[in-house]
Every structure is written in C-alpha cells, then in structure tokens.
C-alpha cells in the first residue's frame, strides 16, 4: 500500500431542498454513506450567507433532519398536504456563486458524462447546468439591467468543453501529480496535519474498537490534497466567496479546453492514450480581441496540451506504468493587436507599446521556468518573407527580446529559439513540411525528455536503440522527468501550430511506447492503426481549440500537409474560412463579454459603467494601467527567487518550503474511503453492466481502425493501405456513403490541388491564396458516376478487369506475351551476372551470431529440465490452499487480524 495517496472528494451527489427562508444543499459521497449539509440564507437581498457545520451525517441522520425541517416549515403543523420542504434540483457539483446587480445565484452541474479514466480516477465533462436565484421573492430588490447580465452570463455555454474530476487534479500535469505522491515518507510524517479535521464528536459506538486489546496498530496513509494551479482553473473567482467558509469537499475546480481518450490494443493488451488540453483563464478571449500578452505576462490563446500513455491492464498509480509529455501553445508575448473596426479579413498587425527591455516576455518566461523547468524551446512558425510586411513584424520584435533575456541566464538554461516559415515551405516543391517537422520533433523530444514513472525495462538492454541513449530530461531511479517544454506559436496558434504539435506528439508517442516496453524501437510510421488513432485525437483536439478561439474548426489538417487530402476537403476549407470570418466579425464581441463576466474580470456595480457601455476591455485585463506598481522588477534578474538553483527541474515540483505549503496532508486509515480508488472506480455496491462501462464505449483501435479481413496482421504498428483500414482515411466525419463514393471515383476524380494551390496559412493567409485555389477548382472536370443499375447489369468479372486496367494500365489476368517474357529473362540474366560473388574463404558463423541460452533454468534441454526453485512464502501459500480445501484451517496471522478488524469496523460500526 502506498504511504501517500490523493484524496477523493467526499461530495459527488447533491440535492437542493428549498424552504421560504433557506436553501439546504445536501451532499453525499458516491455510496451515499456520508452526508454534509450547507445552509444558504434566502432572506439577505444582496449578501451571500452560507453556514457549513462541518458535521458528517449518516443516511438515517439526514432523513431525520429533513423530516424535522419539513415539519417545522409547514404553515400548519397538522396540515399534511402542503410540504414545508420541497426538493428543487439534483446535482453533481457546484460551479460557483455569482452576483450582478441584485442577489447571488448558485450554478449547479446537473448532468455529467465520463470522458476519460486515468489510473482509476474518472474525468467528467459538464453536460448541463442550472442557475438558481438565491434570495426569496419577498426580499428581492429588482434592477432593470439584471436580466441583460444574466443573458450575457448564460452565453458562456458550460456544456461545451468544461471538465472536472473528483479525485484527480486536472489543473496540474500527470508528472506533478505523481511526483507529489512519490515524495519521501519523511516529508509527510514531519508535515503538520490538515487543519480541516472533523469538528464533530464521535459517539461511543463509533469509537468502540473490539480489537483494542489485541495491540494491533492502525496502518496510516497520508492523504494529500493539493492546491490547484489557478491559471488553468475557470471557476476560481466564482468559488472565492466560499473557499474559506465551507469544507474543501464542496469545492470542485473545472478546466476549459479538451479531453479525449482512446484505447490502443496491442495484441489484446490495452494501452490508453489520453489527450488533455488546458486553456488558460488569464487574458482569455476570442481571436482578434485578444492578441499578444498583458502586463502580467499572460498571453492570449495559451493552451497546455498533455498526452498521457498508460498500460490499462494495471490501474493503480503505484504499480502501473504511466508516461506523459507536455507541450504549450500561445500568442507571441509582446504588446500587439489587430484593429477589426475596418472589417478586413486580415487586419494589419500593430505594436501597441514599446518594450525595449522585454519586460512582458520576461514575466511570461518566468512563469514557464517555474512550471516546466529548462530548456524552453520556442518554435516560431510565422512568415519571414512577405510582399507587404505583416507577420514579420512579430518575428522582428520577438527574436531580439529572447536575445536580450538570454544574456542574463546561465548558458545551460538559455531559451532556445527556432524560426521556420512553415507557410513558405508548404508552397515549395523542394521541401516536405512533415519531414522537416519530424526532424525538429526528434531534436525537441531528445532535449526535453518525457515523464515515465518506471525505471528502464530489461527489454531496453535486449533491444538497444542508439536514439534512446540521447534522450535527456531528469533521469532518476524511479523513472524519468520531463524538464523544459516546447512552446509553439504562429499568428493565431491554430492550424499550423496544431500540425506542428501533432508531429512532436507523434515522435514523443513513439518514445513513450518504447519506454513502456510496447515497441522495439522508438519510431512510428504513418498509416498505422496507432498513428491514425492518435491523428484523430489531435484533429478533434485542434477543432475544439479552434472553435473556442477562432470560431470555426481547423482549416488545414495533417492530411492537407501530407498532400493526401480528398478533393472534397477543398470546399470544406472554404466554408471553414467563411465561418471563421463571420464569427470574428459579428459574434466574437458577445463571446468576449461573456468570458469577461464569467471569469469575473468585470464585476458589475451600480457605480461603474455597464459592460456593454465600455468602448474596450483593455483596462480590465491590464491591471498596471489602473495603478502604478511600487515594486519594479529587475530587467537583468528577471526570474523569480529560487528558480535557477533547481533548474533544469521545475521549481513547482521541488519539495521545498514554498511548494509544501500548497499541499494539505491528512492522516487516514489505509482502508478509508477518502483514498480508496478501487471502491471509487469499480463501485462494488452498485449493479453495473459491462456493456455500459466507459472502457467498452471508448474509441478502440481494433474495432475502429484495424481491417476486418481475416489473415491481416493485428499489430497496430503495421502500415496499412488506405483501402485496408477499418475507418475511412477521409476522416471520422465522413459517412459510409461518402467513403463508398470516394472509392468508386478514385480513378476518375480530378487530381489533388498542386503544392502552389495549397493555402499557406490556415489562419491569416487563407484569403490571400484563394485565387490560385479557385483556378484549380474551376479547371477540375466534373466526375461522372455509374448508376447502380448500370453496375448491376454488367458482369462482375468485367467490372473487376476494367478497374484493374484503369489502375495499372494493363490487364493482369492475361498471360504476358513471348516478347515480354524474353525481355524479362534477359533482364534477370543481367542481374544474376552483375551481383554474382565468388567466395573462397570459409565463413565462421560464431563471428557473426552469438547463440547464448536465455532460459532461467540451470538445466534446460530436450533431455532434461530442472524445475525452478520456489521460495518459502510461495510454498506456504500453496500449502494453506491445499489444507483449506481439505477442511483444515491454518492459524490466523497478524495481517489477517488487521484485515478482519477493518472489515468489522466498516461493516458494522
């Protein structure tokens, strides 16, 4: 049993009860054995009054409490028809509390859906919420603008890509969460216990222990509850009013971004691939309204993407094999913007403020050093050459800022800057975009390393690979740590960035699978089931992030840069470009107001102008513009104190005094349900069906991608032909009819767009290159399809021969002519004469191959086998089983008494 474990929230189900004077929010754990009650006052018109007695009720006590409340709130005690306590709504979590111009509202999660499972910890997506006004109608003070604020707030659709977990900290990476659990035992034993202990007194029956005379000590486990990383928490401000009042189990933090999980079956062995994207809540907004960075170093469209690989055959964090890799995207950290008042498709870029000492970039990279360590690698994908200077403005300002910051850093921890014009390379016939990205990805993954919670396996020595020795990062006895991060950016950080991140993620996936012993070399090929599954995850990830920031899905995908996109993709790209332009021009302002109101960047007040009256939200996100800071940061020592001494390891993961303050420690019994992941995941108290479980419903490589024909290699690392795959190469969004249509018209379809016709940039340059694309589409000839009746009237053999002749230019069923055979024989004879090698020396096979026995038996041959030695513990276990089958029970040991003691306490006390 691990000496430390993550705490599981004790409140996962809620019921809101209503009286005229109060709301009673009754929360319980999943098994409904422990309950807590929140009392919310409804007589205060504008203040939030919440009472949490910190008492833990059992089921009977809660029923008695609700019965007394129902009886006491009736108008007439003898009147049975009218209830004094009514049930308002059932929920599974609290998003927070918000107030505009009248009283407070409570936002509750009423519907959830499981999206992923990491080590037995479930991750849920919010499906539906409800917003309830707290004050009673009798004390409500109405305001004419309240309804408008409510409409703006509800424009923020909480059912679109908001995620939470009761037991896993989604705001931190897997590396942080697991290294926290692996910290030495001495740190937790010397740490002060949590002050949030229960204040209720137990009865004599609860405290009675029938084993107290046995002298058996209780095994203590340290339950850890970590403070979230508020940069990626989206309801932090909504819970700020009650954070210090209520028990921590009531607090549930949500993230915004993307979460997807798929199952990779390697000859029946399940490997889960999880992709989690965390969108920053700082300087958040829409495409043209949030550019660059604010005065605190927070950049627009900042998203942290983490890919987690784990062997699903072993569930626990302590015994299982887990690996993760983290990347970052974000706008160029400068003061820049684009004016959208001119209604231009591509507004000009302007630098709003001079920053000669790179102050805002220093703040941004200081945050990155603290969270990710070193090296920080920048991949800048903006254009270098342009007829009219547009994107190059950012590169000309960004590169000198990095040079200025590097001169004060130690040489081993300098920021690495790579600039590559991906759009220009796309139009070039001599350059392959994905090959260049593969080279960059290989170097980046080797520089930063990745996280693995296990040391190197023995199979790595049996199948050594030269590239494995070049992988850096922090290597310890317990595994590997990722040190540093790749930061990718273009102008919008959407299409080009997503393709670059996919190639880096694909390279990291190969190393992760190799580290977990799944493949024999850290290399993955395109058109394999594994890469197709991973590509589909990344496309969903890119579409989701693009919708959140740009208002449309991705315009250019991985298939576009591979030059294998189908001919129907061209029209889809045009529609996505038009959708993005419409969203940016007409709906982004309303979405920005909703984000500002939800994140409490703007808090309504009668003494301030209304949100819709503000000409700009610049002053809401730039705190320094409203007040002068007394403590000015140094331009040379621009990093925070203590960071450099621990590099390349990130400061947030170092067990120092500052980081230990963020962790609450609670000493609990090893069988306590607050740390029991097994019961939380499997729920033995519920009747469940295998068909309804999440692992059955998730995307499966064998079911979705592996060919259905018999005799095909079932390995997910085998390269498939397009017609062999179980899912159409046109993408998951194509229907079966469209797939059939594509296959029928593959021979007569027009050629794909030329390399010049492919648009250089998915974000800003789609409109610039539409002329070339339009000319290609106009030259394309219409496709003539055969009707089903026409196909059925022809013999099947004739159709097959025609298709073979169309594909290869000849009929393979006919026997070659004598002239062709003569040419082939002459060619074969020349080949034999050219490659004939005469050998006179004797070849010693011992110098070429070394055959060594690998059996674990001392004697192992076809004549005799010596059985292996069995230790004493294994023999004792076997003998006890044999004696039990004969009706003879062995004497109970100390461990048996401990288990039985906990069973009696949990079952009957």
At 776, is the pLDDT very low, low, confident or very high (cuts 50, 70, 90)? Answer: very low
Answer whether 865's CB lies under 8 Å from 859's CB: yes
Angle at 634 between CA 629 and CA 640, to 5 degrees: 95
Q: What torsion, rounded to 10 degrees, do the Cα atoms 600, 602, 605, 609 define?
A: -170
pLDDT at residue 805, rounded to an integer: 54
pLDDT at residue 480, rounded to an integer: 93
Phi, psi of 730 (to 5 degrees): -75, -10
Q: What is the pLDDT of residues 678-723, one digit of tens each?
A: 888 888 888 888 878 888 888 888 888 888 775 678 889 999 877 6
Residue 340 or residue 314, greater confidence:
314
> What DSSP state is assigned to residue 248?
G
In the predicted model, what is the mean pLDDT of the chain?
A: 81
Closest by alpha carbon to 320, among 308, 335, 331, 332?
Answer: 308
Tokens at 10, concatenated = 């004790």
How many Cα atoms within 13 Å fall on the side-chain side of residue 687?
0
Highest averaged pLDDT of the listed ranges 287-301, 571-585, 750-764:
287-301
Answer whether 113's CB lies under 8 Å from 34's CB: no
Please name the residues in contact with 13: beta carbons below 8 A apart, sequence gap of 6 or more. 27, 28, 29, 30, 32, 90, 91, 92
Q: What is the pLDDT of residues 290-332, one digit of tens each?
A: 999 999 999 999 999 999 999 998 888 888 899 999 999 999 9
Answer whether 120's CB lies under 8 Å from 264's CB: no
Q: What is the pLDDT of residues 32-86, one digit of tens each?
A: 889 999 999 999 999 999 999 889 999 999 999 999 998 888 875 555 555 788 9
pLDDT at residue 845, rounded to an integer: 58
Radius of gyration of the chain (CA): 32
Question: CA separation (Å) from 236 to 26, 97, 214, 243, 255?
Answer: 22, 10, 48, 9, 10
Residues facing 89 on adjacent strands: 16
Closest by alpha carbon to 100, among 139, 57, 78, 133?
Answer: 133
Question: CA separation (Å) from 684 to 30, 677, 681, 688, 689?
Answer: 11, 12, 9, 9, 12
Q: What is the pLDDT of residues 820-845, one digit of tens each?
A: 888 888 777 776 665 554 545 565 65
Helix (H) or strand (E) holding 479: strand 479-481
pLDDT at 762 over 70: no
Tokens at 240, concatenated = 């700020």
Bridge pairing between strands 50-52 and 86-91: unpaired
Closest by alpha carbon to 515, among 673, 325, 670, 784?
Answer: 325
Distance CA 239, CA 252 (A): 9
pLDDT at 191 over 80: no
Distance CA 701, CA 534 (A): 10
Distance CA 580, CA 290 (A): 15
Helix (H) or strand (E) holding 63: helix 59-72
pLDDT at 811 over 90: no
Q: What is the pLDDT of residues 235-274, one digit of tens each?
A: 999 999 999 999 999 999 999 999 999 999 998 899 999 9
Q: What is the mean pLDDT of residues 549-554?
A: 79
Tokens at 527, concatenated = 């058109």
Answer whether 729's CB lies under 8 Å from 533's CB: no
Distance CA 54, CA 37 (A): 8
Distance CA 587, CA 330 (A): 22
Residues facing 338 on adjacent strands: 349
pLDDT at residue 553, rounded to an integer: 73
> What DSSP state is assigned to residue 436?
H
Answer whether 14's CB lies under 8 Å from 94's CB: yes
pLDDT at residue 304, rounded to an integer: 97
Answer whether 126's CB lies under 8 Å from 51's CB: no
Angle at 441 between CA 439 and CA 444, to 5 degrees: 115
Bridge pairing between strands 699-700 and 451-452: unpaired
Peptide bond connecting 322 to the previous residue in cis, omega within 30 degrees of 0: no
pLDDT at 750 over 60: no
Please name the residues in contact with 612: beta carbons below 8 A apart, sequence gap of 6 or more. 148, 152, 593
Region of residue 91 (left: phi > 0; alpha: psi -120 to 50; beta: else): beta
pLDDT at 175 over 80: yes
173-204 b/e (C-beta count within 10 Å ≥ 16 → b): bbbbbbbbbbbeeeebeebeebeeeeeeeeee
At 778, is the pLDDT very low, low, confident or very high (cuts 50, 70, 90)? Answer: very low
pLDDT at residue 550, rounded to an integer: 83
pLDDT at residue 248, rounded to an integer: 93
pLDDT at 766 over 50: no
Please name the residues in contact with 341: beta carbons below 8 A apart, sequence gap of 6 or more. none
Residue 550 or residue 49, greater confidence:
49
pLDDT at residue 441, rounded to an integer: 95
Closest by alpha carbon to 523, among 537, 533, 512?
Answer: 512
Q: Is the Cα torsion angle 349, 496, 276, 287 positive or negative in sign?
A: positive
Residues facing 38 on adjacent strands: 25, 52
Q: What is the pLDDT of residues 393-403, one digit of tens each?
A: 999 999 999 99
286-314 b/e (C-beta count within 10 Å ≥ 16 → b): bbbbbbbbbbebbbbbbbbbbbbbbbbee
Q: What is the mean pLDDT of residues 620-637?
A: 77
Q: What is the pLDDT of residues 113-166, one digit of tens each?
A: 999 999 999 999 999 999 999 999 889 889 999 999 999 999 999 998 999 999
Residue 325 or residue 748, greater confidence:
325
pLDDT at residue 818, rounded to an integer: 82
Residues facing 114 on adjacent strands: 124
Bridge pairing between strands 220-226 and 4-6: parallel
Lowest average pLDDT, out of 515-519, 599-603, 718-722, goes to: 718-722
Q: Is the Cα torsion angle 772, 773, 774, 780 positive or negative in sign?
A: positive
DSSP per-residue codes, 367-415 = HHHHHH-S-EEEEE-S-S--SS-STHHHHHHHHHHHHHHHTTS-GGGPP
Closest by alpha carbon to 769, among 616, 597, 555?
Answer: 555
Question: Strand locations in 19-120, DSSP E?
Answer: 22-28, 35-41, 50-52, 86-91, 93-99, 104-118
Closest by alpha carbon to 597, among 91, 101, 50?
Answer: 101
pLDDT at residue 198, rounded to an integer: 40
pLDDT at 551 over 90: no
Distance CA 888, CA 775 (A): 88
Closest by alpha carbon to 132, among 32, 250, 24?
Answer: 24
pLDDT at 726 over 70: no
Using N-to-C axis directions, what is the helix angle for 433-448 and 495-515, rounded to 10°? 50
pLDDT at residue 797, rounded to an integer: 43
Phi, psi of 502 (to 5 degrees): -65, -45
Q: What is the pLDDT of residues 80-121, one digit of tens each?
A: 555 788 999 999 999 999 999 999 999 999 999 999 999 999
For residue 851, with 0-12 CB atoms within 10 Å meaning exposed, 13-18 middle and 19 or more buried, which class applies? Answer: exposed
Question: Strand locations in 312-388, DSSP E?
Answer: 322-329, 336-338, 349-351, 376-380
Answer whether 82's CB lies under 8 Å from 278's CB: no
pLDDT at residue 879, rounded to an integer: 84
Distance CA 572, CA 564 (A): 15
Q: What is the pLDDT of residues 871-894, one digit of tens each?
A: 888 888 888 888 887 777 777 788
Distance CA 68, CA 544 (A): 49
pLDDT at 214 over 60: no
Distance CA 539, CA 734 (A): 14
Distance CA 818, CA 130 (A): 81
Tokens at 585, concatenated = 């021009």
């Amino acid at each position: 049993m691990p000496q430390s474990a993550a705490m599981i929230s004790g409140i996962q189900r809620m019921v809101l009860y209503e009286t005229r004077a109060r709301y009673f929010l009754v929360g319980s754990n999943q098994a409904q054995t422990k309950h807590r009650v929140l009392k919310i006052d409804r007589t205060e018109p504008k203040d939030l009054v919440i009472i949490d007695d910190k008492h833990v009720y059992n089921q009977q006590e809660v029923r008695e409490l609700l019965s007394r409340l129902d009886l006491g709130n009736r108008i007439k005690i003898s009147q049975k028809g009218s209830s004094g306590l009514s049930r308002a709504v059932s929920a599974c979590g609290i998003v927070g509390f918000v107030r505009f111009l009248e009283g407070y509202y409570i936002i509750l999660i009423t519907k959830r859906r499981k999206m992923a499972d990491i080590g037995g910890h479930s991750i849920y997506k919010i499906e539906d919420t409800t917003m309830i006004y707290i004050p009673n109608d009798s004390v409500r003070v109405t305001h004419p603008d309240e309804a408008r604020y409510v409409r703006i707030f509800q424009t923020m659709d909480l059912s679109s890509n908001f995620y939470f977990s009761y037991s896993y900290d989604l705001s931190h990476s897997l590396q942080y969460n697991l290294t926290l659990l692996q910290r030495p035992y001495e740190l937790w034993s010397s740490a002060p216990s949590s002050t949030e202990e229960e204040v209720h007194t137990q009865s004599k029956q609860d405290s009675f222990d029938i084993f107290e005379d046995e002298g058996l000590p209780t095994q203590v486990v340290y339950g850890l509850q970590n403070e979230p990383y508020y940069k990626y928490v989206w309801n932090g401000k909504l819970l700020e009013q009650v954070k210090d009042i209520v028990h921590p189990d009531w607090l549930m933090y949500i993230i915004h971004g993307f979460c997807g999980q798929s199952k990779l079956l390697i000859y029946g062995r399940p490997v889960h691939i999880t992709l989690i994207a965390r969108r920053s809540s700082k300087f958040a907004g829409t495409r043209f309204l949030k550019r660059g960075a604010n005065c605190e170093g927070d950049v627009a469209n900042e998203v942290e993407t983490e890919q987690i690989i784990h062997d699903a055959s072993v569930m626990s964090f302590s015994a299982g094999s887990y690996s993760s890799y983290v990347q970052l995207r974000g706008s160029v950290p400068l003061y820049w913007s684009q004016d959208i008042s001119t209604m231009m498709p591509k507004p000009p870029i302007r630098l709003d403020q001079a920053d000669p000492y790179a102050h805002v970039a220093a703040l941004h990279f200081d945050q990155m050093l603290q969270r990710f360590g070193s090296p920080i690698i920048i991949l800048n994908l903006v254009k270098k050459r342009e007829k009219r200077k547009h994107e190059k403005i950012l590169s000309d300002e960004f590169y000198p800022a990095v040079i200025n910051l590097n001169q004060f850093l130690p040489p081993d921890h300098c920021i690495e800057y790579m600039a590559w014009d991906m759009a220009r390379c796309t139009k070039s016939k001599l350059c392959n975009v994905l090959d260049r990205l593969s080279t960059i990805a290989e170097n980046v993954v080797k520089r930063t390393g990745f996280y693995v919670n296990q040391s190197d396996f023995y199979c790595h020595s049996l199948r050594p690979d030269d590239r494995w020795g070049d992988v850096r990062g922090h290597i310890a006895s317990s595994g590997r740590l990722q040190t540093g991060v790749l930061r990718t950016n273009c102008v919008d950080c959407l299409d080009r960035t997503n393709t670059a991140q996919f190639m880096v993620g694909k390279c990291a996936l190969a190393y992760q699978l190799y580290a977990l012993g799944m493949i024999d070399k850290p290399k993955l090929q395109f058109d394999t089931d594994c890469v197709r599954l991973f590509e589909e995850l990344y496309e969903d990830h890119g579409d989701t992030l693009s919708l959140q920031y740009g208002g449309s899905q991705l315009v250019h995908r991985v298939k576009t840069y591979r030059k294998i996109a189908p001919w129907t993709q061209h029209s889809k790209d045009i529609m996505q470009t038009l959708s993005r332009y419409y969203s940016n021009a007409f709906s982004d302002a309303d979405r920005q107001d909703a984000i500002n109101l939800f994140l409490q960047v703007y808090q309504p007040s009668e003494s301030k102008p209304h949100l819709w009256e503000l000409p700009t939200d610049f002053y809401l996100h730039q705190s320094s513009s409203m007040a002068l800071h007394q403590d000015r940061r140094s331009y040379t020592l621009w990093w925070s104190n203590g960071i450099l001494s621990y590099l390349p390891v990130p400061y947030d993961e170092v067990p120092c005094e500052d980081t230990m303050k963020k962790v609450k420690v609670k000493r609990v019994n090893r069988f306590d349900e607050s740390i029991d992941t097994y019961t939380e995941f499997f729920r033995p108290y519920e009747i469940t069906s295998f068909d309804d479980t999440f692992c059955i419903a998730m995307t499966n490589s064998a079911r979705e991608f592996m060919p259905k024909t018999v005799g095909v290699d079932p390995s997910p690392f085998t390269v498939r032909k397009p017609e062999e795959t179980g899912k159409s190469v046109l993408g998951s969004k194509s229907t079966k009819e469209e797939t059939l249509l594509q296959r029928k018209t593959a021979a007569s379809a027009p050629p794909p767009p030329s390399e010049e016709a492919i648009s250089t940039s998915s974000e800003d340059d789609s409109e610039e290159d539409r002329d070339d694309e339009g000319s290609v589409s106009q030259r394309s000839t219409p496709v003539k399809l055969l009707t089903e009746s026409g196909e059925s009237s022809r013999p099947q053999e004739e159709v097959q021969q025609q298709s073979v002749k169309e594909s290869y230019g000849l009929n393979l069923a006919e026997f070659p002519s004598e002239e062709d055979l003569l040419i082939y024989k002459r060619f074969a004879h020349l080949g034999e004469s050219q490659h004939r090698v005469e050998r006179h020396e004797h070849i010693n096979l011992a110098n070429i191959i070394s055959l060594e026995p690998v059996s674990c038996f001392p004697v192992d041959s076809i004549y005799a086998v010596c059985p292996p030695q069995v230790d004493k513990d294994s023999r004792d276990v076997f003998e006890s089983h044999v004696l039990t089958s004969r009706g003879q029970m062995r004497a109970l040991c100390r461990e048996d008494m401990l288990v039985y003691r906990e069973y009696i306490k949990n079952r009957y006390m």
